[in-house]
Structure 1
Amino acid sequence: MESEQSGGTITATSANPPMNLLFVEMGVGYDQHGQDVTSAAMRACRDAISSNSIPAFRRGSIPGVSFEQMKLLIKLGVPHSLHPLLDIEKVKSVFPYGKILNVEVVDGGLICSSGVHVEEMGDKNDDCYIVNAAVYVGY
């Protein structure tokens, strides 16, 4: 997501129209067993959106803006070596509503040891994958 910001407006890319930014939700997701970066990314996105409610869109609290106009930009911090393994479409499925304008994957997150290798849980090794998410919400 090549973004430019000015006066509360974010432009996702030159192909996408600008978005009036309302707020940013942030989350962290882990996959301790099975070494699945997509699961970690999905958990990060759920973490970002799970403790918020956005009644303004449904109730018409923003003059001239309807629920159908909600837009999302997703930015994921993922360890570089895991970028090719990330299933963006599965990550998008976490969001129950809102038009996703873009999902940007950047170098970030972490691969660390979980301290245990449990083959019965699908572990290939003791790696734990950690992904960070920023979800930009606007219209």
Structure 2
Amino acid sequence: MAEQQLILEIGMGADVHGHDMTKAALRAVSDAIRHSSLSVFYAWKVPQKMRIELTIACPDPEAVDKAAVAAALPYGTVEVTCVEGGLTDEGMGGSSDTTLVIAGVRAFLDTENSPFTLSA
């Protein structure tokens, strides 16, 4: 297999009231994928064959519903990894605190026998 990374997008999402890690993660994924058009996958007619590595950085990685976040991506096989990161702004106090989450979306495709080549 000659799998190549073809896409890397970064997004940020926030839950302004409530510290909901999944809500903020879904917003971060949405932000990331709205920045790209995966035309290479459509041109080769294989969007369902891409493998996606989705990294979520948030203050409470265990609180993320990985299945819900994976379902936010419309194509491919999605692997979700949650790590500690992001930000909690505790300046307002209580439920008014803001949680920020960062999403890194990387898409891979087996390019062997593909109609295009990638240069080094």
TM-score band (shorter)?
A: 0.7 to 0.9
Instruction: Please state how far the C-alpha of 1:114 moved relative to its aligned partner.
Output: 6.4
- Which residues of structure 2 form unaligned runs of 5+? 110-120
Residue equivalent to 1:86: 64
- Runs of 5+ consecutive residues of structure 1 not aligned to the other structure: 1-16, 118-123
d(CA) in 2 for partners of 1:114 and 1:29?
A: 18
Task: Kindly indicate whether residue 56 of structure 2 is the aligned counterpart of residue 76 of structure 1.
Answer: yes
The two structures have a TM-score, normalised by structure 2, of 0.80
Identity of aligned residues (%): 31
Distance 1:126 1:47, change over 3 A: same
RMSD over aligned Cα atoms: 2.0
Q: Post-superposition shift, 1:18?
A: 7.8
Question: What are the residue-to-residue correspondences of 1:17-28 with 2, within 5 Å?
Answer: 19-28=3-12
Question: Higher relative contact order by CA 8 Å / sep ≥ 6: 1 or 2?
Answer: 2
Deviations 1:68-101 (A, max 9, x none): 321100011111xx2222111111121011111x
User: Which of 89, 97, 104 is residue 112 of structure 1 equivalent to?
Assistant: 89
- In 2: Cα distance, 1:29 partner to 1:68 partner: 26
CA distance in 2, matches of 1:57, 1:131: 27
SS in structure 1 opposite 2:95?
coil
Shift >6 Å, 4+ stretches = none
After superposition, where does 1:1-139 map in structure 2 within 5 Å? 19-60=3-44, 66-79=46-59, 82-100=60-78, 102-113=79-90, 115=92, 125-139=95-109
Q: Kindly tell me: are residues 40 and 52 of structure 1, through their superposed partners in 2, closer, same or farther at Cα, counting changes over 3 Å? A: same
Letter matched to residue 78 of structure 1: C
Q: What is the distance in 2 between the residues matched to 1:131 and 1:18?
A: 32
State the secondary structure of the residue aligned to 1:125. Answer: helix
Give distance in 1, aligned partners of 2:3 and 2:87. Answer: 30
